[in-house]
Amino acid sequence: MGYAKELNVINNNVSQKALHILKQYYGYDYFKKGQALLIENILTGKDVMGIMPTGAGKSICYQVPAMLLDGVTLVISPLISLMKDQVDSLNELGIKAAFINSSLSLKELHIIFTNARLGVYKLVYVAPERIATDSFIELIQTIQISLVAVDEAHCVSQWGHDFRPSYKQIAQMVNSLPIRPVFAAFTATATPRVKDDIIHLLELRKPYSLTTGFDRENLFFEVNKPQDKFEYLVKYLRKKIDKSGLIYCSTRKTVEMVCDRLNKNGFSATKYHAGLTDIQRTHNQDAFIFDHVQIMVATNAFGMGIDKSNISFVIHYNMPKSMESYYQEAGRAGRDGEAAECLLLFGLSDIVTNKFLIEKGSENNDKTEEYKKLNDMVIYCNTDKCLRAYILSYFGEQETADNCKNCGNCNSNIISTVITIEAQKIMSCIKRMGERYGGAVVADVLWGANTSKIKEMGFDKLTTYGIMKDYSKETIKGYISFLIAEGYIEQTTGQYPVLSLNALSYEVFNGIREVNSRLVFAKTESIEKKNKPTDIGLFGILRSIRKELAEEQNVPPFVIFSDATLNDMCRKYPTSDEAMLTVSGVGEFKLKKFGEVFVEAIKEYVIDNNIEISVVEPKKSKIKLKVKETNSQKPDTRLVTYDLYKSGRTLDEIVDIRGLLLPTVEGHLVDCYKNGMDINLDSLIPKEYEQQILDAIKVHGNEKLKAIKDELPNEISYGAIKFVICKYF
């Protein structure tokens, strides 16, 4: 069902109200698939269960109803970083929100509790560990709660990959309220078993359940098996020098090694794992989220619920131990809808590492399920069929295309190689060894390993001993993994899996069936092509403005506007408020707060580059004309700022009068100075810092504003730096 048709199906009155909220605050014209149906059911008082892939907009499904319902919406969320990002984003949209977790002081908690009782907030995020505290229980008994939304709901299930015992307290908390609110649960990755667990353990009442699908069409999936993983990684990152990305490793030791070597090779990287202190983890995470560093190297301790929207690649340096973990971690790429890459670098040693982690980390004596999940992951890494189809089938979507045209196996030139003879040799060896041993031992026999174990067991006397001595042992293991992945031979689950033959094996062994291995030798399309901004020059300017505004507001850059929104500006060249409201992701509140500085930058850019654009008139008609001809109807906003300056107003007073940000006002005065207007720069430069700013400029040059800013105290603005540059250079 298309988005527009989906909206027409539900109650028109509710849908129009919800659409108005979506446009006014979020700047979007239509809901994504499934959002409108889930919102409609929440607003009509039904519990809901929503399974939607990362980036599909789960948060909007409870944030929009929160704006339309009376009272407060409680959001149960598992990580402090997720709460902060979401609350920052909501407040930047003009939606009052707060969070309650262990990072707050007693004074801060008191203020939030007081404001909640006064009805200040529409949404309050709370950590699951806090819902059983006396102060929180007292709070929720005294405020009107109209909706409880549980994010990352799979955490309630022991079969989920991020099981959190504290999630089991949520149902009791909801049932204790004077009036039971609407109850909503959301997750990105849930097998049918986990879905049933969520509904049962949260005690959802006849929920409206919707699975929008697990497919992330903007993500490119690929598995590579490089001889030298780090060398491959460096070559890949050289092509991504201006992109933000995540690299996942299985162990802390590997994280440390990869991060250190990347920095030595000139990359900007930081690290995250459980062995670091809380302060170190917070500092490193903020550096990544605020775009101070390009790359985060981390264990799976990092990232659940990370809201950073401009991650353009996720690389798994090691294979994770389950498809659930892999898909959630890989899914942190491309949250803004832009094309992104998810690469997995597979090596046979990854299997050994994961078995060790299963044995060491699991308290469950029966590890059969974990080994089964690991085996499914190994099959993914060795299949030559569509990777997207494998993922979707794993999560229960059976009707998937055989060729997605957007994964490493489909989107490549393929050489098909017949390996029937090699397969027959492997199957013969498995049979002669009694179908009682694993792949490593079988590979040793086929290769002709001269070990005491082989001799003691008499395997050196088998006719298959050494019949593949012309192959490397790694190649033989690769063939075995491929045959398992494609179902030609069976492998048991467990710490010590055993190989055996099946019906397909005997068809191959008897010459009835041929075995073909498809080898990838060249990609047919580059992801960079899909991601390239319409206007790279303008995109760079807008990104710099966003960076300055983010630092001024002390929020991550993507909270101001996402890369997708900046790219839409580069396509549409909005030079008026009306035109800016047509940009995806620009709502009325953000237009009022940030619109002017972006509109002015775009105006200046199109004039300087003589770009012909479509100008949006108030009646929504479009006419073709030169931007140079459009500026006579409206006084230049910079001149308004200049007049206030010449009347003796201070920068702070101009900011208050005009309702603009300080960087915007400073930018206006810089432009006026450059155009020969009378500006007393000395009155705008903080005297106590002038020499310090000048010294930093001499070191870094007068074009690298970020490098200059990083060397100076936080209270020095970018505008002050620009004024010094104007004065001396």
Q: How confident is the model at residue 29 (pLDDT cuts 50, 70, 90)?
A: confident
Identify the DSSP state of 32.
P
Asked if 410 and 400 touch (Cβ cutoff 8 Å), the reply is: no
* φ/ψ (deg, to 5) at 543: -65, -35
Asked if 694 and 724 touch (Cβ cutoff 8 Å), the reply is: yes
Nearest to 246 by CA among 225, 226, 270, 273: 270
- Distance (Å, whole) CA 407 – CA 273: 29
* Angle, helix 718-728 to helix 662-674, in steps of 10 degrees: 10
594: tokens are: 């940030």
Q: What is the mean pLDDT of residues 586-615?
A: 84
* Angle, helix 387-394 to helix 323-330, in steps of 10 degrees: 120
Q: What is the mean pLDDT of residues 322-341?
A: 89
The predicted-structure confidence for 281-298, as pLDDT tens digits, reads as follows 888 988 998 889 999 999
Return the residue matching tokens 């098909």. Answer: 416
Check for a shared fold between 3-211 and 533-630.
no
403: number of Cβ within 10 Å: 13
- Distance (Å, whole) CA 629 – CA 607: 10
514: number of Cβ within 10 Å: 11
Q: Measuring CA to CA, how many Å separate 430 from each of 14, 78, 436, 517?
A: 64, 47, 8, 20
Residue 645 in this model has a pLDDT that exceeds 60:
yes
Q: What is the mean pLDDT of residues 351-355?
A: 86
**Superfamily the domain 219-411 falls into:** P-loop containing nucleotide triphosphate hydrolases (3.40.50.300)
506: tokens are: 């005997």
Q: Measuring CA to CA, how many Å separate 670 from each of 558, 605, 704?
A: 26, 16, 17
279: tokens are: 């302060």
Asked if 32 and 24 touch (Cβ cutoff 8 Å), the reply is: no
Which run of H or of E encompasses 21? helix 12-21
583: tokens are: 């940009």
Residue 129 pLDDT: 87
**Superfamily the domain 533-630 falls into:** HRDC domain (1.10.150.80)
Name the amino acid, one letter, at 336: D
Q: Measuring CA to CA, how many Å separate 41 from each of 32, 45, 145, 208, 445?
A: 16, 6, 17, 7, 62
Q: Strand pairing partners for 149?
A: 75, 184
- Distance (Å, whole) CA 604 – CA 598: 10
Nearest to 245 by CA among 318, 186, 303, 319: 303
Residue 628 pLDDT: 37
Which run of H or of E encompasses 182? strand 182-187
Q: What are the domain boundaries of the chain?
A: 3-211, 219-411, 416-510, 533-630
Least reliable range by pLDDT among 143-157, 598-612, 696-710? 696-710
Give the alpha-carbon dihedral of 130, 132, 135, 140, to 10 degrees. Answer: 100
628: number of Cβ within 10 Å: 11
Give the alpha-carbon dihedral of 136, 140, 143, 148, to 10 degrees. Answer: 120
- Distance (Å, whole) CA 471 – CA 337: 44
What beta strand segments (E) does 444-515 contain? Answer: 489-491, 499-501
Residue 727 in this model has a pLDDT that exceeds 90:
no
The predicted-structure confidence for 410-463, as pLDDT tens digits, reads as follows 876 556 678 899 999 999 999 999 999 998 899 999 999 989 889 989 999 999
Nearest to 535 by CA among 569, 580, 574: 569
33: tokens are: 């698939």
What beta strand segments (E) does 266-318 contain? Answer: 269-272, 295-298, 311-316
Residue 534 pLDDT: 67
Q: How confident is the model at residue 532 (pLDDT cuts 50, 70, 90)?
A: low
Name the amino acid, one letter, at 20: H
- Distance (Å, whole) CA 381 – CA 95: 44
The predicted-structure confidence for 172-224, as pLDDT tens digits, reads as follows 899 889 999 999 999 887 778 888 889 999 999 999 999 887 888 899 999 99
What beta strand segments (E) does 339-497 contain? Answer: 340-345, 412-418, 489-491
172: number of Cβ within 10 Å: 11
**Sequence-separated (6 or more) residues with CB below 8 Å from residue 190:** 51, 153, 154, 157, 160, 198, 395
| Cα four-point dihedral sign 102, 282, 326, 209 | positive
Residue 527 in this model has a pLDDT that exceeds 80:
no
Coil, strand, or helix at residue 520? strand
Number of H helices, E strands in the chain: 34, 19
Asked if 34 and 56 touch (Cβ cutoff 8 Å), the reply is: yes
Residue 494 in this model has a pLDDT that exceeds 80:
no
28: tokens are: 């979007």
What rounded mean pLDDT belongs to the chain?
84
Q: What is the mean pLDDT of residues 480-484?
A: 87
Residue 415 pLDDT: 61
439: tokens are: 């792949």
| DSSP strand pairing (295-298 vs 499-501) | unpaired
What DSSP line would sit under 340-379, residue for residue? EEEEEE--THHHHHHHHHHHHH---S--HHHHHHHHHHHH
Residue 107 in this model has a pLDDT that exceeds 70:
yes
675: number of Cβ within 10 Å: 10
- Distance (Å, whole) CA 689 – CA 687: 5
Residue 631 in this model has a pLDDT that exceeds 50:
no
The predicted-structure confidence for 536-584, as pLDDT tens digits, reads as follows 889 889 989 999 898 888 888 988 999 889 999 998 999 888 899 999 9
Longest dimension (CA), the chain: 100
- Distance (Å, whole) CA 729 – CA 727: 6
Q: How confident is the model at residue 620 (pLDDT cuts 50, 70, 90)?
A: very low
Which run of H or of E encompasses 426? helix 420-432
Nearest to 159 by CA among 10, 369, 420: 369
Give the global pTM: 0.68
Query: Going by CATH, does the domain composed of 3-211 fall within 3.40.50.970?
Result: no
Q: What is the mean pLDDT of residues 685-692?
A: 88
Name the amino acid, one letter, at 497: P
270: tokens are: 């930081």
Least reliable range by pLDDT among 208-212, 495-499, 625-629, 707-711? 625-629
Asked if 68 and 21 touch (Cβ cutoff 8 Å), the reply is: yes
Return the residue matching tokens 């993507």. Answer: 558
Return the residue matching tokens 């819902």. Answer: 131
| DSSP strand pairing (145-150 vs 97-100) | unpaired
CATH architecture of 416-510: Orthogonal Bundle (1.10)
